[in-house]
């Protein structure tokens, strides 16, 4: 195990798209550097949603402790501001215990909020306005609402996937209520950590093959039964958690709207789209991120390189 100088409050950040191999590397680094994972995955926060979110297994969490997993029931929302506060608390507790905090995940908004120190706009929800905006989506489609956001705040529109209706509505809501673009309100006050960011990537077609294999494995591991249990437990299809990737498509199958084969193909297709969206958050050209291609480098070599970044030779 390599010792780490934590006097500067070191935070290791591991980012990359779905299925690239973040979990495997984080486990190896956690064991090598006496680190623990702070999850930056917006779906792994939900209890009972294990298979469809590719949550680390019990065995993996026994090897390296994980934080901010299973912190909400599927019908309990977690705001970005709440996540950010919980992440900072987890990081600070780990530093106090002389552990290396590793922020790991593919939810770009979560990672950026922590690493860049976003100030989350303090604009309370306006349910009447939200109802009008949802009605607009029903009448004209999500692209029309996204176009409205683009007119109000082009920078926010570039970051937010048009299909993520909930986030688009929130951004429009903040712009209309505050009278200013949400991107202007999201001021940045960097946290007091020495941050080392590494990114994992693979050639796109290789990554797509891994996505397809992961989806097939989720089905084999019981994703259909997992979704069925959640519905039987009383969780509504309309919940943001239940309308997320994988759960939405299996829901359509369980309601008899599509076949299981079509549901699986939709999950694979939508996951590929999500991968492309993740690369908009984690850009290969970002000078703050040291990228490693897991197709051309052995995992052991990547591990050694990251260890040297965290623990440079004196």
Same domain, 24 and 157: no
Same domain, 101 and 242: yes
Note the pLDDT tens digit of each residue in 107-135: 999 999 999 999 877 677 788 898 899 89
Note the pLDDT tens digit of each residue in 50-70: 999 999 999 999 999 999 999
Q: Kindly report the number of other CB atoms within 10 A of residue 3's CB atom.
A: 9
Is residue 238 one of the residues assigned to a domain?
A: yes
Note the pLDDT tens digit of each residue in 217-249: 999 999 999 999 999 999 999 999 999 999 999
Same domain, 147 and 84: no
Q: Which of 205, 215, 131, 121 is closest to 171 using CA atoms?
A: 121
Same domain, 228 and 90: yes
pLDDT at position 8, please? Answer: 60
* Cα–Cα separations (whole angstroms), residue 274 to 31, 50, 280: 30, 19, 10
Is residue 1 one of the residues assigned to a domain?
A: no
Same domain, 104 and 215: yes
Is residue 69 one of the residues assigned to a domain?
A: yes
37 backbone φψ class: left, alpha, beta (φ>0; ψ -120 to 50):
beta
Same domain, 169 and 245: no
| CATH number assigned to the domain comprising residue 146 | 1.10.20.140
Is residue 5 one of the residues assigned to a domain?
A: no
Q: Which domain holds residue 219?
A: 10-118+188-310
Q: How many domains does the chain have?
A: 2
Q: Which of 154, 125, 161 is closest to 42 using CA atoms?
A: 161
Whole-model pTM: value is 0.83
Same domain, 103 and 219: yes
Same domain, 110 and 223: yes
Same domain, 139 and 110: no
């Amino acid at each position: 195990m390599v010792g780490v100088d934590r006097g500067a409050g070191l935070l290791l950040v591991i980012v990359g798209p779905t299925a690239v191999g973040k979990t495997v590397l984080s486990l190896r680094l956690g064991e090598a550097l006496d680190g623990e994972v702070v999850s930056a995955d917006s779906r792994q926060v939900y209890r009972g949603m294990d298979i469809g979110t590719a949550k680390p297994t019990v065995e993996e969490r026994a090897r390296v402790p994980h934080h901010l997993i299973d912190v909400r029931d599927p019908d309990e929302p977690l705001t970005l501001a709440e996540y950010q506060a919980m992440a900072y608390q987890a990081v600070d507790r780990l530093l106090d215990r002389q552990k290396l905090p590793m922020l790991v995940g593919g939810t770009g908004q979560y990672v950026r909020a922590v690493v860049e120190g976003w100030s989350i706009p303090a604009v309370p929800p306006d349910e009447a306005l939200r109802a009008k905006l949802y009605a607009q989506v029903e009448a004209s489609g999500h692209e029309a609402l996204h176009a409205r956001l683009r007119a109000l705040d082009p920078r926010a529109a570039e970051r937010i996937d048009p299909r993520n209706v909930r986030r688009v509505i929130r951004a429009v809501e903040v712009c209309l209520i505050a009278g200013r673009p949400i991107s202007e309100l999201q001021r940045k006050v960097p946290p007091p950590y020495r941050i080392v960011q590494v990114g994992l990537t693979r050639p796109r077609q290789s990554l797509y093959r891994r996505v397809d294999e992961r989806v097939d494995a989720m089905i084999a591991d019981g994703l259909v039964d997992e979704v069925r249990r959640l519905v039987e437990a009383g969780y509504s299809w309309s919940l943001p958690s239940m309308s997320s990737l994988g759960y939405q498509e299996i829901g359509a199958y369980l309601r008899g709207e599509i076949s299981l084969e079509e549901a699986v193909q939709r999950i694979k297709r939508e996951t590929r789209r999500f991968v492309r969206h993740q690369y908009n958050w984690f850009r290969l050209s970002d000078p703050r991120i040291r990228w490693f291609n897991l197709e051309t480098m052995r995992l052991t070599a990547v591990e050694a390189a990251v260890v040297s970044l965290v623990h440079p030779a004196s």
